[in-house]
């Protein structure tokens, strides 16, 4: 099951991120896929704003992870682009980031094969000056989220 949308500009990417926050349900792991500059961090920024986080959202390119302890849930935003080897994740104790009271959004998940499986995979593709997003469900919670996302967007 999936949801797809052409995102005309940065604003549309932010808005869909917000809509995802409104239809989250019992989601804990989201993979963000797509080339450099596809819009993964922009989408996460919209998502965090939708979750009620009002301050700046930095790209975790150099820190590997940024953590946002929000009212509803603690969000960990990973960017694994610069990870040298998979064992670096073990050294940062990454397993502790995945818990029933956390939500992990992960850019460049393909760099770390030992990650827990996702509820959703969001693939951003560059289409000329625009972007296309395909959100695919990979769990029961993921399916419910995709269904309610479709309802909100109608
Ligand atoms: N729908 C869109 N249409 C056009 N430009 C967009 C759209 N969404 C985001 N952008 C722009 O794409 C650029 C790169 O976005 P962003 O940093 O979110 O990419 P990224 O996928 O996180 O890249 P990286 O892999 O380097 O972390 C930004 O300038 C942003 O404004
Ligand atoms: Mg990014």
> What mean pLDDT comes out for the span 125-148?
97
Write down all domains in the chain, each with its CATH number in brackets. Answer: 2-153 (3.40.50.300)
Give percent above pLDDT 90 in the chain.
Answer: 86
On the question of pLDDT at 62 being above 90, the answer is no
Judging by DSSP bridges, how do beta strands 74-79 and 102-107 pair with one another?
Answer: parallel
**pLDDT on residue 65:** 95
Q: What are phi and psi of 37, to 5 degrees?
A: 80, 10
Ligand nearest to the CA of 132: 1
Question: Sign (positive/negative) of CA torsion 72, 41, 125, 16?
Answer: positive
| Residue to substitute in 12, 17, 39 for testing ligand 1 pocket (most ligand atoms within 8 angstroms of CB) | 39
Calculate how far, in angstroms, residue 107's C-alpha sits from the geometric centre of ligand 2. 7
Helix/strand/coil for 127: strand
Distances (CA, A) of 12 to 9, 31, 84, 130, 132: 5, 19, 33, 10, 10
Judging by DSSP bridges, how do beta strands 120-127 and 130-137 pair with one another?
Answer: antiparallel
| Residue to substitute in 11, 42, 124, 126 for testing ligand 1 pocket (most ligand atoms within 8 angstroms of CB) | 42
Ligand nearest to the CA of 110: 1
Threshold 0.85, pTM exceeds:
yes
């Amino acid at each position: 099951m999936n949801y797809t949308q052409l995102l005309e500009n940065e604003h549309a990417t932010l808005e869909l991120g917000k809509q995802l926050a409104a239809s989250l349900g019992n989601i804990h792991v989201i993979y963000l896929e797509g080339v450099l500059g596809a819009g993964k961090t922009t989408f996460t920024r919209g998502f965090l704003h939708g979750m009620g986080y009002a301050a700046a959202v930095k790209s975790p390119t150099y820190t590997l992870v940024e953590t946002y302890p929000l009212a509803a849930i603690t969000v960990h935003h990973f960017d694994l682009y610069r990870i040298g080897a998979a064992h670096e994740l073990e050294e940062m104790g990454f397993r502790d980031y995945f818990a029933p009271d956390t939500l992990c959004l992960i850019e460049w998940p393909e760099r770390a094969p030992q990650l827990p499986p996702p509820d959703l995979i969001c693939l951003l593709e560059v289409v000329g000056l625009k972007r296309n997003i395909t959100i695919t469900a990979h769990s029961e919670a993921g399916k419910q989220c995709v269904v309610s996302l479709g309802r909100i967007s109608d």
